[in-house]
Amino acid sequence: MSRYFIEFSYDGSDYHGLQKQPNAITIQEVIENNLEKFLGIEINLVLAGRTDAGVHAKQMFAHFDIEMDFKKDILCRRLNTMLPKDICIESVNLVPSEAHARFDAVSRSYEYLISSEKNPFNNKFTYYFKDHLDLNKMNECCLDLIDHSDFKCFSKSKTDVKTYICDITSAEWKELNNEFRFNITADRFLRNMVRSIVGTMVEVGRSRISRENFKKILESRNRSEAGFSVPASGLSLLNIKYNNIFIESWKK
């Protein structure tokens, strides 16, 4: 039995998220179905994480186990001809049998895009917001995010996680060409966490929430104290990092 890592990207606009679910079309289902058509056997992908409906990914990983041999480059090319235009297979790599797409990931990075200019060609990937935002105030609150560890206040209610502890290593807002870009990296993220962080920070940028109140929201552990959740369209998973030694082992 051999284990393979599959690296892929997608535009999540027309899907009900990444993870397979009944009575709804998802990224995982589409990839698995096409893998099974090509390989002729049932394939079960183990995902590195999950993204909600409408969220995009520039880099996502999953692994699967298989007993048969195949040419990785041919599989990659054929899958890309079979898959819809909004899903792309970037690579397929043989990895050690103990490698795990989810548990061996050491960090994940997301980006959220807000456009201050209405543009019909960007509405699938940005959140149009016409009000002025004070990025200095928002970046001050980024420092509070990095100093904090319990993010229950930004987690979707009625989730079944065992802990709300996340290690955020970087968070920053930048403005470029009528766009506000929020980048954040952590070892893990809670469901809806980034979108609720962004929504709360938008209120900070509009001077509706002070930095002191932002700190109180963090300490409250109460989702109802935080701001609104911004639309999924502006959110993209940028990358997932693995240990360097692990990366080198799968490329040999």
Active site residues: 52
DSSP label at residue 177:
T
Enclosing H/E stretch for 29: helix 27-39
Strands (E), the chain: 2-10, 46-47, 56-66, 87-95, 105-115, 127-128, 168-176, 179-186, 235-242
Enclosing H/E stretch for 244: helix 244-251
Chain mean position to CA 126: 15
Distance (Å, rounded) from C-alpha 205 to C-alpha 213?
13
